[in-house]
């Protein structure tokens, strides 16, 4: 899509969830080799771009203050805009608004999703028609999770995050996300991680939530123990999910600190979210869902 002159472009930046995350080793360049199943939630940030004389970024939303002290030039949104402008041989000129609805440094790819949404939106606004492959290459320069966030469908992720393929059949999931306000950097968690290398955890295709969760329970997040050791409140968040009626599985997403719980239905998830929020009013708690993937591996958005 190419935006008409004077008309802005709005893109969603959904939360990325690592349903399992196995660390297979470490490369000579320092990046870890990962194996993960990634799905995207219906909750997320929103990026809007409009024509403007210079490149500006305004941040609003419930977590805007968490970015207030950050130099805008270091924000992944601005980095994405400048990278795309260089690629297209353009001056980086646009007015960008970021509605920051996701907690920062929470292991759900908020910054990467924002960068991906920015690439999509500016590609349309500027009429560049950059291909998916070109956007993915630019995205990898910005962050290892950006290529996956550009797709925003159920994915199998490998390498440092740059190796992605559409997942086999996966069911739509009803979830509760819990963020106990304990920001963690990925580097912190990898630095604290102990243990041996894991094996690949590729799962059997399934359109049954019960069968899917049973299969998923045989996998793990290799970063969870380190994250809990660094921020014990993450263990409290996991416990708050596990005790809710109907919780089928509770786990940390990515390097944390947001945890997810899988529930049999949207109603069960809503009830659990209300209970947890009532007992922990200072936590970020939301009931949400993911999309499914068809047998051919194409997500339904």
First vs last C-alpha separation in the chain: 17
Q: Does residue 112 contact residue 146 with C-beta atoms inside 8 Å?
A: yes
- Predicted confidence at residue 300, as pLDDT, reads 33
Residue 54 DSSP label: S
249-252 and 155-159 strand pairing: unpaired
Structure tokens at 137: 């290459």
Coil, strand or helix at 3:
coil
Q: Does residue 94 contact residue 134 with C-beta atoms inside 8 Å?
A: no
The catalytic site residues sit at 16, 145
- Predicted confidence at residue 26, as pLDDT, reads 81
Task: Tell me which residues of the chain have a pLDDT lower than 50.
Answer: 1-5, 294-301
Pick the closest to residue 114 from 260, 181, 16, 254 (CA basis).
16
User: Which residues partner with 52 through β-bridges?
Assistant: none
Q: How many CA atoms lie within 13 A of 158 on its CB side?
A: 10
Q: How many CA atoms lie within 13 A of 279 on its CB side?
A: 13
- Stretch (H or E) spanning 155: strand 155-159
How far does CA 198 lie from the centroid of its chain? 22
Structural domains in the chain plus CATH codes: 9-165 (3.30.230.10), 168-289 (3.30.70.890)
Q: Does residue 19 contact residue 216 with C-beta atoms inside 8 Å?
A: yes
Q: Does residue 147 contact residue 161 with C-beta atoms inside 8 Å?
A: yes
- Predicted confidence at residue 6, as pLDDT, reads 53
Coil, strand or helix at 266:
helix
């Amino acid at each position: 899509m190419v935006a008409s002159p004077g008309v802005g472009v709005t893109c969603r930046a959904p939360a990325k969830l690592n349903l399992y995350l196995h660390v297979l080793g470490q490369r000579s360049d320092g990046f870890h080799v990962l194996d993960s199943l990634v799905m995207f939630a219906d909750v997320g940030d929103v990026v809007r771009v409009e024509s403007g004389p210079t490149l500006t970024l305004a941040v609003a939303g419930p977590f805007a203050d968490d970015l207030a002290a950050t130099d805008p030039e270091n924000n992944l949104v601005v980095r994405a805009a400048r990278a795309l402008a260089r690629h297209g041989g353009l001056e980086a000129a646009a007015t960008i608004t970021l509605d920051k609805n996701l907690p920062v440094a929470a292991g759900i790819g908020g910054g990467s999703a924002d960068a991906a949404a920015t690439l999509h939106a500016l590609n349309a606004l500027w009429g560049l028609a950059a291909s998916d492959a070109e956007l993915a290459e630019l995205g990898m320069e910005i962050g290892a999770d950006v290529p996956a966030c550009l797709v925003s469908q159920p994915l199998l992720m490998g390498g440092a995050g740059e190796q992605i393929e559409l997942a086999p059949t996966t069911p739509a999931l009803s979830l509760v996300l819990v963020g106990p306000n304990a920001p963690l950097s990925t580097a912190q968690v990898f630095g604290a991680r102990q243990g041996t290398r894991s094996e690949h955890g590729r799962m059997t295709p399934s359109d049954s939530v019960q069968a899917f969760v049973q299969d998923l329970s045989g996998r793990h997040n290799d970063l969870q123990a380190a994250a809990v050791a660094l921020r014990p409140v993450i263990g409290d968040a996991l416990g708050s999910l596990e005790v809710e009626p109907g919780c089928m599985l509770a786990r940390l997403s990515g390097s944390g600190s947001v945890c997810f719980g899988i529930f049999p239905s949207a109603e069960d998830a809503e009830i659990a979210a209300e209970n947890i929020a009532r007992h922990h009013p200072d936590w970020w708690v939301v009931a949400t869902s993911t999309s499914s993937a068809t047998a051919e591996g194409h997500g339904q958005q």
